[in-house]
Amino acid sequence: MGAINIASKGVVYAKMSSVALLIALLSSCGGGGSTDNQDAQIVTSSADLLILSREITEKKETFNSVEYKSNWGLDAVNAKEAYAILALNNKNIAGAGVVVAVLDQSHVDISHTELEQNINIDSDFIEQSDHATHIAGIIASSKDDNEIHGLAYDAKILSIATSQNSNLGFNKLVSSDADIANLSWSLANDNQAGLALEILTDTITNSEVLLVAAAGNNAEDNPVYPAQFAAKSNFYGRLIAVSSLDKDMKISGFSNKCGIAKNNCLAAPGSAIYSSVENNKYRNMSGTSMA
């Protein structure tokens, strides 16, 4: 991606992945709040761009910590560049003001030291899982010089337990202040697609939340549902399907491809991702859920 001057957001972005750009953009406007542009760096000439590029190069190395290096995916999406750009525009915390809902069949472990400062939870279920906790850690584990930090390490996580065949959890999502919702699960069978379509259509109609859905782990050409709904025109810009990349930045062997949802789909690191799991532990997990 070439350099883009986005003065209205008070920040200039250069050569960043879509994921890093999204985090930086959301952070720069406080997750949808007002923006103070007094300190914005605005490119007006090629000389300014060269100076800014040098500043970014120097600043990004300050984020190259042991925590950062623990997840290869951060460097793969140029997260250091995003952090440097935020810092150069007096936005020192990635994800500040952004709320990300993690909708899973179980809850995030809210007692994990990496997550306890950044999480809220609905009260209907008490079961927790490694799966939900791992996803939450990738998104927003704390930057505290301890083991790992998330891509958007100051975002807030809202853990919502849901079911694949009912609107359980989605009503909570609609009434919440979530900006983004992670849907890292698939339907048990395509016969449930009709109900799921109805639920997700209601969700995007009654809220402004961006839905991000895992493409699935069956090595197929098309995403599973609900990610496959990204192919429908009414979901453009509202639901994004996500495939997984391996360390060679190729589609992971297990990952479903974007297929028919290619115009509303992206791929991100999802193989052997190191993150938080239950009981204050950490481990590698792979899947489009991690991407």
* pTM (predicted TM-score): 0.83
**For residue 35, pLDDT beyond 50:** no
**For residue 4, pLDDT beyond 50:** no
Q: Could you give the CA distance from residue 74 to residue 145 in angstroms, rounded to a whole number? A: 16
17 vs 171: which has the higher pLDDT: 171
Q: Could you give the CA distance from residue 74 to residue 54 in angstroms, rounded to a whole number? A: 21
Predicted local confidence at residue 175, as pLDDT = 93
Predicted local confidence at residue 55, as pLDDT = 84
For the domain with range 99-290, which CATH number is right: 2.30.30.140, 3.40.190.10, 3.40.50.200, 3.40.50.300? 3.40.50.200
Which positions ≥6 away from 12 have C-beta within 8 Å? Answer: 3, 4, 5, 6, 40, 41, 42, 43, 52, 85, 89
Q: In the chain, which segments carry CATH 3.40.50.200?
A: 99-290
Phi and psi at residue 274, to the nearest 5°: -90, 125
Average pLDDT, integer, range 82-103: 83
pLDDT bin (cut points 50, 70, 90) of residue 47 is low
Nearest to 60 by CA among 79, 41, 77, 74: 79
Average pLDDT, integer, range 259-263: 97
